[in-house]
Structures are given as structure tokens and as C-alpha cells.
């Protein structure tokens, strides 16, 4: 029987679950801003949502709120617009407005009002009375302190590491641009007529001690004089509450930065890097002492205790707190009696008879089924008195950090930088629990746990219940969705049988080249082959994608429903498409030759192109939902925040974006570039893990393998994501072809190569008469779904690649991108 506290907590969790059932909406002012930023009218919104224009007006003023099912559609619209038009400001009313000051030493002047509006001036190196104002009619004061000395207690602190075990959020060193983004509101720089005034230069000489006159101050009442005026500094005149003497705007206006909300750090952070000297490096340069005697069992006990203070808060209220991560360097292995290399190179496991494993067994620690390899997870069974006890290890000399995901040289970084790198990734994505692929898969479960506490009406007790919208139990795939080794396939076909397209679902990414004979004379006169690559293509495809949550149901002769996830047997071979484009229905880009199985997004696109779709059979998932939405949002925010830290923001104009991306390639940041690489690898690896194949020399086709026991072993979801990404790619290529006569010569996954008269994507991407990107086509930018410059090669190089039947998209950067994990 659960105790009273557990019952109360479970009741609160149930209330939170009920409150979260409503789709969240931004502040009414933000709703209006997003619509206007996108150039949409209220009539357009009303028509799309089948409501009256007055209803949209009420939503934007906050008089009323949308109700289901309109609410979910409106929330989806606003979320999409917020991705295209991010904002740096907080929602109105979220933030108190402290008195502004620039280099203000204990300066707290009383506010003056003009026509009832606070016109408190900005004090410069002053302890005297507030400065007079010039043209300060209805002037609003700036809202945040800048370079304040002895600032108020609620001002954001400088980089001071939290004391061990204090629970305060540690800060990264100033200027590093790494780690967790600020959790509070971002201060707004003061401005002079809309220009950033932080860099305004002070006057060359101080004014006389007499108070400066007020000029054009309408109905402005003077502030009370201070008890002790400053002996040497006269208050500086201000315009709109900002220093107006020699004020100069910065050379380049500051751009708003994307501010995601990563998991806040607790305690000393989620992990520690051990150097073998008795020291553990954690967040913000903090160094802890750990036991050097007692072997690995003593170290595990320390990691779970208050002296270490390693904490990783849950990402969902129904989830579990993360396990502490200990990263072991080569000297740490020697200290613990572990080998620097594994003898079992195939299984990558420490032998069961190793002394360290015997130590663990004696201390009643256990290993998970994957054993003691590069990422061992060590635990004690939970008890009512101890609760959950589990520690994750990452063993660097054994290859825990794959260079294809984390970059070359990352395992060899100094311990403080490595701790900062992994903590940044943990705060923005998840504390690593294995390879980036494993972490990507576990992130899905962390964001949408399978179970929650619920009251059993029959017994009036709290029991475990499924979380709506989650994957709650393992299900068998439909026969077309299952890989060849699966028991479902083994029961239907002989072992040597080669399945045809009418027997297997083949939804993979593009790998296509155009027939060189189809190159036109005009294309052959161009000088360059330019590659463009879709940012986070699989993540963008997962956004708002309905996927099956339960088992598949078989139907014969079903009516096609583009909103119903599943796979369908249909014949699309009669659809004639331009041969200069890859077919959207096959990964190799050649037209289908007969009936084949297709995921819902592929068949829906055939319908979108104007073709009748008549499936003869289907395996459909009647229980479905946008399971991957939270996963997409988390990884999108991690990606955007890291790119912003590297100097690439969503507000850059296209030429500046291309310049920033070119500079990024030369960037030598040893922390942020590996984090960026790992985030992208987490996306692709996580989707790939949804259909993990059996491993090990002892496996026999037709047998179960461990991955099948996971609720997240879902090849149908993987197929839906890849199908959507491929369709999205074709939709944009088709738009360029029909609107501008531009056809790719090669496509590989999310990279397309076009022939161009110049080396830049700007030399071939079409524009509207107004100079804007072609609607529905490729758009340059940092956001997921937009494109970046992948590489440029000479025309003759590209033609030779085609003649030799090689894919130019694979080598457009000068190396094999796929082999390098891109």
C-alpha cells in the first residue's frame, strides 16, 4: 500500500495531467504579433479554422480562448509561425521592470512621471539626482539594468559557481556562450530612438554641478532632490531616458538571439569527468573530490550521495530523474583497476570474471543486459527505503564518444572542457545514456513516459496507468513493415525468399542521380555544381506527424485516408512524372513498376499531385497521435540555441547567413561544434533506432532479439518520418522545376545538387518579383526544414561523377559525407 505522501503526489500528478490536456497557447499579444509577422490577415486565419473574423479578434485580445477542436489547430498554427518568426522578448506581464542604469553605482533615483508615464532617466556614473530629460514627452523608461555595479538583488549574477550541494544553478564562465540558456527573461538594452544605447560613449567632460534644465518637458514634475548630491558628477541629459551626449549606435545592430528553455541544472549538474587524481570536474569549472579507495563500488555510492550532488531533473512530470553520469578517462581506469582496452572487440564487454565485476557483485550492484562495455549502466534493485539507485558510466578509452557523432579529438579534451561540452548537451538534449542514437531514442521516452499514476476506482488506490499519447507497450509490426529477420516474416516466407515491393515496405531516404543524357544544352553551359542541404530534415519531418500508438489493423480494399497512419498496398506505376526529377515514391528515384507498399505520407503526396489513389490492402493504426512533437521541439531548440551560440541566428539575411555558415566551417570551438554535431547525430540515430536490427554472430533469423521488447521498437514510425522527409524534399524540388525550370542532377537523403552559373546557392535559387524566396521552394536559413550551402564543385567534376555512376551529392563537400556520418 502506498503511504500518504505518495498518494498525495499521485493525486497532484493526476491534476497536472488533466490541466495539461489543453493545448498551450502564447500570450494574446504574441498571437497577434505572429500573425502580423507572417503577413496574414484575420480573415485568412478565420477561413482556415472555419470561424468568424470576430472570433480571431477575440482570441488575439484575450477576451475569449479557442475551444477544442479549434484550439489544437490554432496552437499548431501559432507554433509553426513561432518557428518562422521567433522573438527575443518575453510575454507582456512576465517580467518586473527594474529601474535602468548604466554603470550606476548605488544609483536608485525616484521615478519621475510625464503625463502619467514613468520617465525615469538613465543615470551615468552618478549618485546624484535623476537627470533631466530632453523631448521627454510620453517617454517610457528602459526596462533593464546594463553594466550595473551593486545592481539589485534580482539582477542576473555573474559567473559564480554554485557551492557543492547548494542546489543553486551554476553559471558558465562569462563570454563562453555555452551551457544552459538563462532561465529568466532576457534584459532589453536601452535605446535612443530605437538604437541600442549600451555602447553609448560618455561625455568627454563632466557638466557643472548645477541641475540641467528640462527642455520641452510637458507637464513634467521635477523629482525630489537626493539627500546627498554627488560632489563631482552632474547628471547627464537623456533622450527618452537614455544618455543623449555623444551617443553612438554600435557598428552592427544587435540581432535577437534564440532563447530556448533547456533543462535547468540542479546541484552540481548531471555528470562528472574523472581524471584519476581523486578529482571530478563538473559544471561551470567546479571540481569535486571523490574517493580513491574502495574501488568502483565506493565511487558509485559517492555519485549517488550529497557530496557529489549530481542531479538530472526529469523532462516530464510522469517520468524519472536521470541517473548521474561518470565519465572515465584513461587515468581513472587505471585507478579503478580497469583495462585501457577491451579484449573482446566484437562484443565490447568486460569478461564476467574480471575483478571489478566481482567487486560489484559482492557489493550487490548489478549490470544491465548490455554488460560492462563503453556505456555500462550499474544499479541496485529499488527498495522502499532506498528508492532508485543507478549510475551510468561512459568509458572514453573504450570508444564511448564516437568521433562520427562527437567529432575527432573530443575524447582527448581536457577534463574541464569535456565536462562543459557534455553538460551543455545534457542541459539541451538529455544526459547521454549511450551513443547519440541510444540517447535519441531514450529522449522519446523521457519526454513521453509510458505510464503515470492513476486512481483505481474499484480499490480506491493509486496504480500505474498508461500516459495518453505515449507508446505504452511493445507491438508486433505489420508484415510489410518488419525487417527480414523478424519472426513475423519468418512465419510467412522461407528463409531464402527475397521479398518484392508488393511484400515489403521500402521507405528510405533518396539516393538518386539524373541520367547524364537528360542534361540540357543550357545546363551544360553552366559553370558550377552547387549542393544545398536541408537542416535537421528528419526532425522537421517528425513535427506534427501523426504516428501509430498501438498495433496495426488489417483492412482489405480500404478507402485511403491521408490522416490515418499505416502502410497501404497500391499501384502508382501509371503516374507519369518528369524524368529530370526523382520519383517521390521510391528511394532510388526510379518510377515504381507495379503494386508496392507505401507509408501514408507517400500515398498522400500522390493524392496531392492530383492522382487517384485506390489501395487494395492496408495495415492501419487506428490509435494514433503526434508522438514525436515534444521530441522535435526539444531537439529543434537545442539545435537553434547551439547555432546561435556559434553566431548563426534565424534573423540573419540570406547573404549574411551564408557568410556565417562559411565562418562556422572554420570555427575551432572545441565545445560547441561537438555539441552541434552530437545534436544532429541524435536526430538521425534516434530515428534509426526505431528499427534496430539484431546484432551478434550468434543470432539466427526468425528469433526474437532484445530490441523487440521496447515499446519504442517501431519500424512503422521510422518509415513515416523518412517518407515525410523524402516527400518534403520532392515537393520543394518540384516547385523549383515548375516555377523556375531548375532541376537537380543528384539527391542524397537531404542534399540536392543543382547546376548554377555561380558558386553560391543565391546564384540559382529563384526569387519572386519582390526579391523574396520562392514560396514553397528551398529557403536559405538556420531553422529546421530550411537549407544551407553544402558545397560547390566545377561543372566538369559533376558531369564526370554522373558518367561514372557516382552520386555528386555524396562528394559535393570534397569527401564522402555519408561515410563521415553526415
Determine the pLDDT at residue 8. Answer: 60
In DSSP terms, 187 is beta-bridged to none
Which residues of the chain are under the pLDDT cut of 50? Answer: 1-2, 17-18, 20-21, 89-261
Determine the pLDDT at residue 94. Answer: 37
Strands 387-395 and 325-328: parallel
Q: What is the C-alpha to C-alpha distance for residues 761 and 780, in angstroms, rounded to an integer? A: 8
Determine the pLDDT at residue 462. Answer: 87
Determine the pLDDT at residue 819. Answer: 54
DSSP annotation string for 251-283: SSPPPPPP---PPPPEET-SEEEE-SSSEEE-G
Beta strands in 61-105 (DSSP E): 101-102
Determine the pLDDT at residue 10. Answer: 56
pLDDT in tens, 667-722: 789 999 999 999 999 999 999 999 999 987 788 889 999 999 999 999 999 999 99
Q: What is the C-alpha to C-alpha distance for residues 505 and 569, in angstroms, rounded to an integer? A: 9
Q: Per-residue b/e over 730-751, b at no fewer than 16 CB within 10 Å?
A: bebbbbbbeeeebbbbbbbbbb
With a CB cutoff of 8 Å and minimum separation 6, the contacts of 178 are 172, 420, 424, 645, 671, 672, 675
Q: What is the C-alpha to C-alpha distance for residues 412 and 2, in angstroms, rounded to an integer? A: 48
CB atoms within 10 A of CB 722: 26
pLDDT in tens, 24-57: 788 888 898 888 888 888 888 988 888 888 888 8
Determine the pLDDT at residue 145. Answer: 36
What the chain holds in terms of domains, given with CATH numbers, is 23-84 (1.10.260.40), 270-434 (no CATH)
Q: With contact defined as beta carbons under 8 Å apart, do 566 and 742 qualify?
A: no
Q: What is the C-alpha to C-alpha distance for residues 75 and 77, in angstroms, rounded to an integer? A: 5
Residue 176 CA: distances (Å) to CA of 156, 377, 417: 16, 32, 11
- Helices 436-447 and 629-645, packing angle to 10 deg: 120
Amino acid at each position: 500500500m502506498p503511504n500518504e505522501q505518495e498518494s498525495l503526489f499521485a493525486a497532484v500528478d493526476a491534476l497536472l495531467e488533466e490541466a495539461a490536456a489543453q493545448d498551450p497557447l502564447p500570450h494574446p499579444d504574441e498571437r497577434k504579433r505572429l500573425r502580423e509577422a507572417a503577413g496574414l490577415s484575420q480573415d485568412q486565419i478565420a477561413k482556415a479554422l472555419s470561424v468568424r473574423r470576430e472570433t480571431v479578434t477575440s482570441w488575439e485580445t484575450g477576451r475569449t480562448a479557442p475551444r477544442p477542436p479549434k484550439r489544437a489547430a490554432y496552437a499548431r498554427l501559432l507554433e509553426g509561425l513561432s518557428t518562422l518568426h521567433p522573438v527575443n522578448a518575453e510575454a507582456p506581464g512576465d517580467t518586473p521592470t527594474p529601474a535602468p542604469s548604466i554603470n550606476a553605482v548605488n544609483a536608485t533615483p525616484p521615478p519621475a512621471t510625464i503625463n502619467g508615464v514613468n520617465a525615469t532617466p538613465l543615470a551615468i556614473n552618478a549618485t546624484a539626482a535623476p537627470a533631466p530629460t530632453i523631448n521627454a514627452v510620453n517617454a517610457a523608461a528602459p526596462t533593464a539594468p546594463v553594466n550595473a555595479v551593486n545592481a539589485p538583488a534580482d539582477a542576473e549574477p555573474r559567473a559564480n559557481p554554485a557551492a557543492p550541494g547548494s542546489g543553486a544553478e551554476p553559471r558558465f564562465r562569462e563570454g563562453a556562450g555555452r551551457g544552459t540558456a538563462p532561465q529568466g527573461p532576457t534584459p532589453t538594452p536601452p535605446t535612443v530612438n530605437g538604437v541600442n544605447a549600451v555602447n553609448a560613449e560618455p561625455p568627454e567632460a563632466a557638466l557643472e554641478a548645477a541641475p540641467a534644465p528640462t527642455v520641452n518637458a510637458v507637464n513634467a514634475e521635477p523629482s525630489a532632490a537626493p539627500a546627498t548630491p554627488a560632489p563631482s558628477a552632474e547628471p547627464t541629459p537623456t533622450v527618452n531616458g537614455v544618455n543623449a551626449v555623444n551617443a553612438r549606435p554600435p557598428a552592427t545592430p544587435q540581432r535577437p538571439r534564440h532563447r530556448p528553455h533547456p533543462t535547468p541544472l540542479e546541484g552540481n549538474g548531471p555528470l562528472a569527468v574523472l581524471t584519476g587524481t581523486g578529482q571530478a570536474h563538473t559544471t561551470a569549472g567546479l571540481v569535486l573530490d571523490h574517493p580513491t579507495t574502495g574501488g568502483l563500488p565506493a565511487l558509485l555510492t559517492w555519485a549517488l550521495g550529497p557530496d557529489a550532488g549530481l542531479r538530472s531533473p526529469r523532462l516530464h512530470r510522469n517520468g524519472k530523474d536521470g541517473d548521474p553520469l561518470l565519465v572515465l578517462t584513461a587515468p581513472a581506469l587505471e585507478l579503478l583497476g580497469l583495462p585501457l582496452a577491451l579484449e573482446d572487440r566484437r562484443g565490447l564487454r568486460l569478461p564476467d570474471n574480471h575483478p571489478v565485476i566481482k567487486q560489484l557483485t559482492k557489493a550487490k550492484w548489478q549490470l544491465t543486459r548490455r554488460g560492462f562495455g563503453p556505456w555500462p549502466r550499474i544499479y541496485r534493485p529499488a527498495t522502499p527505503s532506498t528508492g532508485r539507485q543507478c549510475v551510468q558510466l561512459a568509458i572514453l578509452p573504450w570508444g564511448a564518444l564516437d568521433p562520427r557523432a562527437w567529432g575527432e579529438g573530443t575524447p582527448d579534451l581536457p577534463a574541464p572542457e569535456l565536462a562543459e561540452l557534455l553538460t551543455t548537451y545534457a542541459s539541451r538534449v538529455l544526459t547521454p545514456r549511450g551513443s547519440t542514437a541510444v540517447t535519441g531514442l531514450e529522449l522519446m521516452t523521457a519526454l513521453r513516459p509510458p505510464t503515470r499514476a492513476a486512481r483505481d476506482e474499484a480499490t480506491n488506490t493509486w496504480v500505474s496507468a498508461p500516459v495518453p499519447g505515449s507508446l505504452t507497450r511493445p507491438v508486433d509490426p505489420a508484415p510489410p513493415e518488419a525487417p527480414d529477420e523478424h519472426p513475423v516474416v519468418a512465419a510467412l516466407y522461407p528463409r531464402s525468399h527475397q521479398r518484392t515491393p508488393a511484400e515489403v515496405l521500402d521507405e528510405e531516404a533518396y539516393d538518386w542521380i539524373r541520367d547524364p543524357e537528360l542534361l540540357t544544352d543550357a545546363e551544360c553551359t553552366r559553370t558550377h555544381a552547387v549542393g544545398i542541404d536541408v537542416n535537421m530534415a528528419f526532425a522537421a519531418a517528425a513535427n506534427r506527424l501523426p504516428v501509430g500508438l498501438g498495433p496495426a489493423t488489417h483492412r482489405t480494399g480500404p478507402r485511403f485516408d491521408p490522416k490515418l497512419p499505416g502502410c497501404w498496398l497500391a499501384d502508382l506505376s501509371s503516374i507519369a512524372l518528369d524524368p529530370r526529377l526523382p520519383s517521390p515514391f521510391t528511394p532510388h528515384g526510379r518510377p515504381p513498376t507495379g503494386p508496392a507498399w507505401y507509408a501514408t505520407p507517400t500515398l498522400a503526396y500522390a493524392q496531392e499531385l492530383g492522382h487517384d489513389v485506390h489501395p487494395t490492402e492496408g495495415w492501419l493504426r487506428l490509435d494514433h497521435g503526434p508522438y514525436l512533437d515534444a521530441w522535435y521541439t526539444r531537439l529543434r531548440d537545442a539545435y537553434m540555441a547551439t547555432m546561435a551560440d556559434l553566431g548563426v541566428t534565424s534573423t540573419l539575411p540570406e547573404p549574411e547567413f551564408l557568410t556565417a555558415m562559411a565562418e562556422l566551417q572554420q570555427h575551432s570551438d572545441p565545445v560547441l561544434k561537438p555539441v552541434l554535431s552530437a545534436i544532429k547525430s541524435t536526430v538521425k540515430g534516434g530515428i534509426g533506432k526505431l528499427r534496430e536490427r539484431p546484432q551478434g554472430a550468434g543470432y539466427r533469423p526468425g528469433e526474437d532479439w532484445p530490441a523487440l521488447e521496447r515499446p519504442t521498437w517501431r519500424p512503422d514510425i521510422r518509415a513515416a518520418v523518412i517518407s515525410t522527409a523524402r516527400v518534403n524534399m520532392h515537393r520543394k524540388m518540384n516547385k523549383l522545376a515548375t516555377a523556375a525550370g531548375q532541376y537537380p542532377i543528384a539527391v542524397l537523403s537531404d542534399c540536392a545538387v543543382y547546376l548554377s552559373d555561380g558558386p553560391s546557392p543565391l546564384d540559382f535559387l529563384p526569387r519572386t518579383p519582390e526579391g523574396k524566396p520562392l514560396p514553397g521552394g528551398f529557403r536559405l536559413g538556420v531553422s529546421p526544414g530550411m537549407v544551407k550551402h553544402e558545397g560547390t564543385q566545377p561543372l566538369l567534376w559533376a558531369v564526370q561523377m554522373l558518367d561514372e555512376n557516382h552520386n555528386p551529392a555524396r562528394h559535393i563537400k570534397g569527401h564522402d559525407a555519408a561515410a563521415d556520418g553526415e
